[in-house]
Amino acid sequence: MRERWQQKALSIAISVVAVTMVIYHLVSTQYLLLGPIPHQNLHLAFALVLVFLGTLQKKPRLWAWIFVLILVSLVATGYVHIFYYDLELRSGFPTLADAIVGIILVIVAMESTRQAWGLALPFLAAFFIAYSILGYLLPPPFYIMKFEFEQIVSNMGIGMRGMYGSVLGISANYIFLFVVFGSLLGASGATGFFIEIGKAMGKRLRSGPAMAAVVTSALVGMVTGSVAANVATTGSFTIPLMKRIGYRPEQAGAIEAAASTGGQIMPPVMGIAAFAMAVFTETPYVTVMAMAAIPAALYFLTCAMYVHLQAIKMNITPMAEKSDVSELAKRAPLFIIPLALLVVLLVIGHSAMYCVFWAMVALVALSMIRKKTRPSLGQWLQGFISGAVTGAQIGVSVACIGTMIGVVVTTGLGIKIAAAVGAWSGGHLIVALVITMLVSVLLGMGVPTFTAYVLVAIVAAPVLVEMGVSMIVAHFFVFYFACFSFITPPIAIGALIAARLAKGSYTKTALEATKVAIAGFVLPYAMIFYPVLTLGPTDAHLILSGAISLLAGLLALEIAFVGQFFKKLHLATRALFLVVGALLVGFVMAQNYALLVVGIPLFAFLALWEWKKARTAKAVPVSAN
């Protein structure tokens, strides 16, 4: 009885803190309540308390430890709120009290991140902190000067740098609101729109449910800001549908994981990391959104190729379940109108905070029109609470990564890594790209999408900029690999969740997901060597040839991976398609027309050959009768 009352009291506490956090952020979009640093600090305080309360709800036996953490978090953030102006003035020369508060902030940021996301990010933060303390003992090129402990603490947070830098501001100003918006979409019943799309596509296409997974995950993923949340949300209905019509568990999980990961690269919202990219590169958000459009379209086109070829190979038939076209039309405005309003307001030039506020207002207003889609007060509250909790989890991870940014800036680690990669690559850009890709995937494993991007942006992007790649394209390169680390073994969080939902093998699901998402690993390289993909200047003669070559190359790769074209392919033919894919993608990067001259005729020959074989195989039973 006592435990039940404790859980109820905790639920009320979480609800009050979450709703208060949402109300504060919503009001802040319309009125300037606090300055930049106090605003970030209050955002962090809310986030820390919410994360710790969430842990206490799951593990009530830890109440003493959690109570201490909440208390010291409030004391530390309260100290910053009262003395933030003085802290800025004495940045780099903290008092004893400043240093103690700074240490507390670093500890609670790391501990809350561990509770929310596991050990990966706190372990990395500890490594960076150790480097700032002991780096003077290392040989060149990673040697650094010896810093006083007070300087290190100041640079990581209490000196209004590092933890309180631009990254926490992005979380407080943009990310939190967009996560809440994504949560409200679910509370409003907009997911019913996706279910009806799945039924409609399943009726007309043999790959319908899988194709629906691709479409709906793209739509949901671009506003949720989380691959894990996207897989869990859309996968709960797309994966069972795919399994029901004949896809193996690993295939169903892989398709959902790949499509959900792709939601992070899909404009207009791009899983909220696009706002960070706009800030880091000093590029207008609308420009970032436009640059992302063509690669995103190519990615999802390639995913669609995979699911359709797989459906043909497995002889999957269209679903018998009928879709309710009327219901589809009635639910469509719940998703389309708020998103369209968001995009229009962004294009006009309003701030992202202002835009997402009015998108939420539109969503709430539209959901109230029909009784069938009118959520109860409890459903709205749950949407706010769910969004606030997820936003808080991202917020504490951003605070944790802020400590690492402080180390990178203070020690010059980013410049050292860039110099080291430049030396290891021997000045060859393609080698540097491969090394940067590996670093980006490694740093992105096991952390939230936005955090993964920020981490690789500060460490890996400068490597490419040093070698002559434009800053925005360099950021796109590392951003893609940070996103696709979610389906890259050995730590593929998106594939892990999808495998659990599908009840399949994690390893097989992750490997299959990399086949579905092959474009996600090819397109970043293409962006570097074929700038037209990101609306950059390209020689006129390369525009058409590059587009044809890239499309045909991606198709050839998927044909090789699936082993199906017009009919099932022999191993030798699959190998030839793989060679064709390599030749055509190679042309885009090397711009050597010899590769195109060999690749296109070979692709045409193989396609015609397989078409004739399939036609002959169909004609045999007819002539026999």
Pick the residue with more confidence: 580 or 485?
A: 580
Exposure string (b/e) for 8-17, b if CB count within 10 Å is 16 or more? eebeeebbeb
CB atoms within 10 A of CB 185: 28
pTM over 0.85: no
How far apart CA 528 and CA 539 sit, in angstroms, is: 14
* Stretch 511-528: mean pLDDT: 91
pLDDT at 238: 75
Q: Is 564 helix (H, G, I), strand (E, B) or coil?
A: strand
pLDDT at 48: 95
pLDDT at 488: 83
pLDDT at 350: 81
Choose among 523, 529, 524: nearest CA to 554: 523
Query: How remote is the C-alpha of 495 from its chain's centroid?
Result: 13
How far apart CA 586 and CA 589 sit, in angstroms, is: 5
CB atoms within 10 A of CB 499: 28
* Stretch 182-208: mean pLDDT: 69
Which secondary-structure segment (H or E) carries 541?
helix 540-562
- 323 band by pLDDT with thresholds 50, 70 and 90: low
Supply the mean pLDDT for the chain: 83
How far apart CA 513 and CA 531 sit, in angstroms, is: 27
- 274 band by pLDDT with thresholds 50, 70 and 90: confident
Residue 526 has pLDDT above 90, yes or no: yes
pLDDT at 233: 64
Query: How remote is the C-alpha of 624 from its chain's centroid?
Result: 55
Give the pair of three-digit tokens for residue 606: 């193989």
pLDDT at 194: 64
What is residue 371's DSSP assignment?
S
pLDDT tens, 456-511? 888 888 888 888 899 999 999 999 988 888 888 766 778 877 887 788 888 888 88
- 75 band by pLDDT with thresholds 50, 70 and 90: very high
Residue 625 has pLDDT above 50, yes or no: no
- Verify cis geometry, omega within 30 degrees of 0, for the bond prior to 601: no
Question: In sequence order, what DSSP letters do the residues of 567-614 get, joined into one string?
Answer: SBPPHHHHHHHHHHHHHHHHHHHH--HHHHHHHHHHHHHHHHHHHHHH
Residues forming a β-bridge with 568: 564
pLDDT tens, 240-249? 778 877 888 9
Residue 624 has pLDDT above 50, yes or no: no
Highest-scoring range by mean pLDDT, 71-80, 109-118, 202-211, 535-544? 71-80
- 66 band by pLDDT with thresholds 50, 70 and 90: very high
pLDDT tens, 425-447? 877 889 889 988 888 887 777 66
How far apart CA 67 and CA 49 sit, in angstroms, is: 10
Exposed, middle or buried, 166 (CB in 10 Å: 0-12/13-18/19+)?
middle
- Could you give phi then psi for residue 568, rounded to 5 degrees? -65, 140
Residues 6+ apart with CB under 8 A from 561: 306, 515, 518
Exposed, middle or buried, 539 (CB in 10 Å: 0-12/13-18/19+)?
exposed
pLDDT at 24: 94
pLDDT tens, 110-167? 999 899 878 878 888 899 899 988 888 888 878 888 888 888 888 887 877 788 877 7
Residue 575 has pLDDT above 50, yes or no: yes
pLDDT tens, 338-353? 878 887 887 787 877 8
Question: In sequence order, what DSSP letters do the residues of 16-76 get, joined into one string?
Answer: HHHHHHHHHHHHHTTS--S-HHHHHHHHHHHHHHHHHHHHHHH-GGGHHHHHHHHHHHHHH
- 199 band by pLDDT with thresholds 50, 70 and 90: low
Lowest model confidence (mean pLDDT) among 287-301, 381-395, 494-508:
494-508
Give the pair of three-digit tokens for residue 613: 């074989």
Exposure string (b/e) for 91-127, b if CB count within 10 Å is 16 or more? beebeeebbebbbbbbebbbbbbbbbbeebbbebbee
Contact 456, 280 (CB under 8 A): no
How far apart CA 166 and CA 605 sit, in angstroms, is: 54
